Chains A and B, each alone.
Chain A
Amino acid sequence: MICGIEPEVNSQNPYQMSIDATMFVPPHLIAVVDDEAPVLRGLRRLLRGRGFEVRTYESAHEFLTALQAEKPDCLIVDFQMPGMTGLELHRHLTRAGAHIPTIVITAHNERTIEKLCLAEGVSAFLSKPLQISSLSAAIHESCGMTAPSQESRSR
């Protein structure tokens, strides 16, 4: 349910928690691709606050260009974008042998697309607006981190 957010933020200072996460390993690099800048900014703020290194790109092409320089640990990509869609990007990466855990986010919560994406090996499919708990769980799973248990986050 929605109220799952509250215990998470109420339990402890999330900022503090993210610092905890960075204490063990270098911060995970998360790439976010979405054609809308406000979404990118919001997610960047959120994820940075949670201790992740964040790169944002406004298109799949932009991301692919940057990919040559560094490879992210996790890719969050919008499904519907002009040019290459999130799923197409994922396919492209898979075909190119770049195995980046990919979380597809979409404003169209269509089951068929979700099924398709999951069948193609996408690690998570989340509908917008993003539930912080689901997002957090998906990122942690993608990055091979131990997801913060609900208990530890709930009050």
Chain B
Amino acid sequence: MTRRGDHRCIRRLSRIVSVFLVAIATLLVWPALVSAQTSGVAPPRVLLLMANDHRIPVTLQMTEAARVRLTERLGDVRFYSDFLDLQRFPSDADQDRTARFLSDKYASIHLDVIIAIGPQALRFITDRWPNGASPSKVVYCAVGSDLAEELASRPNIVGGTAAEFDYVKTLTMARALQPKAHKVVAIFGSSNFDREQNKRVREQLASEEKQIEIEYWSGRPLADVLRQVAELPPDTIVLPAAFRGDVSGKVMIPWVPLSQIMAAASAPTYSVYDTQVGQGVVGGYSMSFADEGRVAADLAADVIEGRELGRLPVRRPVQNKFRVDAQQLDRWGFSRANLPPDTLVMFEKPTLWSQYRLFVLVTLGVIVVQSALVTTLLIQRQRRVRAEAEAEQRRQEVAHLMRVSILGELSGALAHEITQPLTAILSNAHAALDMLPEHAPGAVELREAIEDIVQEDTRAGEVVKRLRRLLKKGDKTNEPFDMNELVLATVTLLRSEGLGRGITIKTELADALPRVWGDPIQIQQVLLNLAMNAMDAMASTPSTERIVLFSTAITPTGGIDVLVRDRGVGLPTGDKDQVFKPFFTTKDRGLGLGLAICSSIAQAHDGKVTLISDEDGGAVATLSLPASKQVPLANDTATLESALRPLAANP
């Protein structure tokens, strides 16, 4: 039971597997079967019959384009090609011989389509091709409409391209580019083709001759043409139209003389052949021979595929275009703005951008990045230099501050150290005076000497006391005093200094000045400082004009102004208030603290110090103190420390 079930199962499985295998085999073999089927049909055979030899670019462009298009359309196509070389072998005998050769050659081969390149090739086929039992269909290109019409009734001729050279449009373009041109020179050779072309061009340009003089050159030897064309004025329009042979009967390769003429011409040349663009012509309204080849190939493919073609012969148009050579435009200095719209500008010199876009982008990027880097580094350097300069200035200020504060610190110790010996000296001097016998020999002089010691010692002690008071914190007096007296005392102090510098010190004191409250010593310090500044400012003033004038005045508000006027160099330009900042100095050996201290002393007295340039030259410093009242003096103001406070607050 189980065994029978197993057998059935296996049989069913093997059937499924075999079906599957067949399916796979079929799938694998199918492409081969298909290809075998297609390869079983012989590929279409196409003969490209060319009138001239193989070196003519026009022919090559047409046949190559046709070949590519036919292969695109039909896949496997067997191409044959023959060159009739009718330019050099034009006689009936030559052509008959070629015809015999070709009929022998293709006797056993059925050609589906013969594509005739050029009118002579077409005429050769119609007149001499022995179309036998299975006649080939004929498609032509580069054949004029005259011949096409003439041969329209012939059997087997399917048709071809309908390309026309348009000399009118070419001339229109030339005149647009050369608005000043007054003559056209159309150049032709002496071969049959050339003469035929000459006739056609004349017909086309007949209407143009009303507007511009047209000269037709023909029947001249090439050498003459080359010489004459080189002597044309540059405002001539040159049309080297056709030159396949000159009067000598010498046959030429069609494009060679044309190129020579173009090279020799001293005026811009134009052509209806697109193949000439890039060979020296400016351009023209030309059709592309490659386009013509493609159109003919399409027609041939239609024939082979058996498509409905309509009424024979089929004439398929080929689109013409304005084509110009950018290099020639530049050579003659023609403006692109004058070109007809939709002109194809060829051989534009590739710009750096179009050629090396990525490279340019990368280079630009690198330059930008590097510039940014360099700029950043420069900015950083500048900042560093500035920061260093600032740091240096700060360091110097701090050094100053250190010195000054050390001086302040020292002042206590210094005062002590000086005062102690002064005390000993004074005590001893007094003791000596006490002990000195009155009537001893030389006692009078000795007494005087000791008295001098006492006096000078006392004076030195006084100096130390004042220095101490100046340098240490607080401990100021606040008492009423007479400003005029203080000014006079200050002037007395300054007199010897003034004499030494050749400076006259004058006073103009107001009467009935109210008394001022404050510390006269500090106020005197301010006056001394202002006076010393005034004196320093007059170092370069002529000695007769060296005058410092102290004047006092009562202000409208009842306060007192003390003015110190000099005839010196005036104030430094720049920030008006900078002179009051600590450590600002214009003097080589100045500490830069004088005015800062003066200012803070004045402020402690509820007054102020101002400094302005005098109209007569020099400067006027004014100490203004408020109306008489008892000024409460805080202990920590109006000294060095408060003068330095702005600096300390801004380290």
Chain A residues with a Cβ under 8 A of chain B? 2, 5-6, 9, 13-15, 18, 36, 38-39, 41-43, 45-46, 48-50, 80, 105, 107-112, 127-132
**Min CB–CB distance B109 → chain A (angstroms):** 137
Secondary structure dominating the interface of A: helix
Give the residue name and chain of the B residue nearest to A6 (CB): B451
Chain B residues in 8 Å Cβ range of A111:
475
Assess the A46–B412 pair: CB atoms within 8 A.
Answer: no
Assess the A36–B420 pair: CB atoms within 8 A.
Answer: yes
**26 cross-chain CB contacts under 8 A:** A2-B455, A2-B462, A15-B435, A41-B428, A42-B426, A43-B427, A46-B427, A48-B431, A49-B431, A49-B434, A50-B434, A107-B415, A107-B416, A107-B423, A108-B416, A110-B475, A111-B475, A127-B465, A128-B420, A128-B461, A129-B423, A129-B426, A129-B458, A129-B460, A130-B423, A131-B458
Assess the A13–B438 pair: CB atoms within 8 A.
Answer: yes
Most buried by B among A15, A45, A105: A45
Assess the A130–B412 pair: CB atoms within 8 A.
Answer: no
Assess the A42–B425 pair: CB atoms within 8 A.
Answer: yes
CB interface residues, B 418-470, toward A, < 8 Å: 419-428, 430-435, 438, 451, 454-455, 457-462, 465, 468
Q: Which 8 A-B pairs have the closest CB atoms?
A: A42-B427, A107-B419, A45-B431, A38-B424, A49-B434, A46-B431, A14-B434, A128-B423
Q: How far is the CA of A16 from the CA of B547 in the complex (A)?
A: 56
Assess the A39–B475 pair: CB atoms within 8 A.
Answer: no
Q: How far is the CA of A18 from the CA of B434 in the complex (A)?
A: 10
Most buried by A among B415, B426, B455, B465: B426
Q: How far is the CA of A42 from the CA of B427 in the complex (A)?
A: 5
Chain B, 169-210, contact with A by CB distance < 8 Å: what is the 0/1 string?
000000000000000000000000000000000000000000
Chain B residues in 8 Å Cβ range of A14:
433-434
Assess the A36–B424 pair: CB atoms within 8 A.
Answer: yes
Give the residue name and chain of the B residue nearest to A3 (CB): B455
Chain B residues in 8 Å Cβ range of A129:
419, 422-423, 425-427, 457-458, 460-461
**Min CB–CB distance A110 → chain B (angstroms):** 6
Chain A residues in 8 Å Cβ range of B431:
42, 45-46, 48-49
Assess the B454–A5 pair: CB atoms within 8 A.
Answer: yes
Indicate whether A39 sits within 8 Å of B430 (C-beta atoms), given known contacts A107-B416, A109-B468. Answer: no
Q: How far is the CA of A130 from the CA of B424 in the complex (A)?
A: 9
Chain B residues in 8 Å Cβ range of A131:
458
Assess the B434–A15 pair: CB atoms within 8 A.
Answer: yes
Q: How far is the CA of A108 from the CA of B438 in the complex (A)?
A: 36
Assess the A5–B424 pair: CB atoms within 8 A.
Answer: no
**Min CB–CB distance B342 → chain A (angstroms):** 106
Chain B residues with a Cβ under 8 A of chain A? 412, 415-416, 419-428, 430-435, 438, 451, 454-455, 457-462, 465, 468, 472, 475
Chain B residues in 8 Å Cβ range of A80:
416
Q: How far is the CA of A87 from the CA of B434 in the complex (A)?
A: 31
Given A36-B424, A128-B422, 13 further pairs, Cβ under 8 A: A5-B430, A6-B451, A14-B433, A41-B424, A42-B423, A45-B428, A108-B415, A108-B468, A112-B475, A129-B426, A129-B427, A129-B457, A131-B458
Give the residue name and chain of the B residue nearest to A105 (CB): B423
Indicate whether A46 sits within 8 Å of B434 (C-beta atoms), given known contacts A109-B468, A129-B423, A129-B425. Answer: yes
**Min CB–CB distance B26 → chain A (angstroms):** 123
Chain A residues in 8 Å Cβ range of B451:
6, 9
Assess the B438–A39 pair: CB atoms within 8 A.
Answer: no
Give the residue name and chain of the B residue nearest to A113 (CB): B475
Q: How far is the CA of A38 from the CA of B457 in the complex (A)?
A: 15
Most buried by A among B412, B420, B424, B427: B427
Q: How far is the CA of A103 from the CA of B538 in the complex (A)?
A: 52
Q: How far is the CA of A13 from the CA of B433 in the complex (A)?
A: 9
Q: How far is the CA of A150 from the CA of B435 in the complex (A)?
A: 21
Assess the A45–B475 pair: CB atoms within 8 A.
Answer: no
Indicate whether A38 sits within 8 Å of B421 (C-beta atoms), given known contacts A45-B428, A109-B465, A132-B430. Answer: yes
Assess the A46–B423 pair: CB atoms within 8 A.
Answer: no
Assess the B424–A42 pair: CB atoms within 8 A.
Answer: yes
Q: How far is the CA of A80 from the CA of B458 in the complex (A)?
A: 21
Assess the B428–A42 pair: CB atoms within 8 A.
Answer: yes
Chain A residues in 8 Å Cβ range of B426:
42, 129-130, 132
Chain A residues in 8 Å Cβ range of B461:
128-129
Give the residue name and chain of the B residue nearest to A111 (CB): B475
Assess the B427–A45 pair: CB atoms within 8 A.
Answer: yes
Give the residue name and chain of the A residue nearest to B460 (CB): A129
Chain B residues in 8 Å Cβ range of A42:
423-428, 431
Assess the A128–B428 pair: CB atoms within 8 A.
Answer: no
Assess the A39–B434 pair: CB atoms within 8 A.
Answer: no
Q: How far is the CA of A48 from the CA of B434 in the complex (A)?
A: 10
**Min CB–CB distance B486 → chain A (angstroms):** 19
**Min CB–CB distance B574 → chain A (angstroms):** 41
Q: How far is the CA of A75 from the CA of B416 in the complex (A)?
A: 21
Q: How far is the CA of A108 from the CA of B471 in the complex (A)?
A: 12
Indicate whether A108 sits within 8 Å of B458 (C-beta atoms), given known contacts A42-B424, A42-B427. Answer: no
Give the residue name and chain of the A residue nearest to B435 (CB): A49
Chain A residues in 8 Å Cβ range of B423:
39, 42, 105, 107, 128-130
Q: How far is the CA of A66 from the CA of B127 in the complex (A)?
A: 165
Q: How far is the CA of A2 from the CA of B424 in the complex (A)?
A: 17
**Min CB–CB distance A21 → chain B (angstroms):** 13
**Min CB–CB distance B536 → chain A (angstroms):** 32
Q: How far is the CA of A5 from the CA of B428 in the complex (A)?
A: 14
Chain A residues in 8 Å Cβ range of B459:
2
Q: How far is the CA of A62 from the CA of B434 in the complex (A)?
A: 29
Chain A residues in 8 Å Cβ range of B428:
41-42, 45-46
Chain B residues in 8 Å Cβ range of A15:
434-435
Indicate whether A38 sits within 8 Å of B434 (C-beta atoms), given known contacts A6-B451, A45-B427, A130-B427. Answer: no
Give the residue name and chain of the B residue nearest to A5 (CB): B454
**Min CB–CB distance A71 → chain B (angstroms):** 24
Give the residue name and chain of the B residue nearest to A14 (CB): B434
Give the residue name and chain of the B residue nearest to A9 (CB): B433
Q: How far is the CA of A49 from the CA of B435 in the complex (A)?
A: 7
Chain A residues in 8 Å Cβ range of B421:
38
Q: How far is the CA of A144 from the CA of B608 in the complex (A)?
A: 51
Chain A residues in 8 Å Cβ range of B454:
5
Q: How far is the CA of A12 from the CA of B423 in the complex (A)?
A: 24
Give the residue name and chain of the B residue nearest to A131 (CB): B458
Most buried by B among A36, A48, A110, A128: A128
**Min CB–CB distance A108 → chain B (angstroms):** 6
Chain B residues in 8 Å Cβ range of A46:
427-428, 430-431, 434
Q: How far is the CA of A110 from the CA of B415 in the complex (A)?
A: 12
Chain B residues in 8 Å Cβ range of A13:
438
Give the residue name and chain of the B residue nearest to A49 (CB): B434
Q: How far is the CA of A9 from the CA of B430 in the complex (A)?
A: 9
Assess the B435–A128 pair: CB atoms within 8 A.
Answer: no
**Min CB–CB distance A11 → chain B (angstroms):** 11
Assess the B455–A39 pair: CB atoms within 8 A.
Answer: no
Q: How far is the CA of A80 from the CA of B419 in the complex (A)?
A: 12
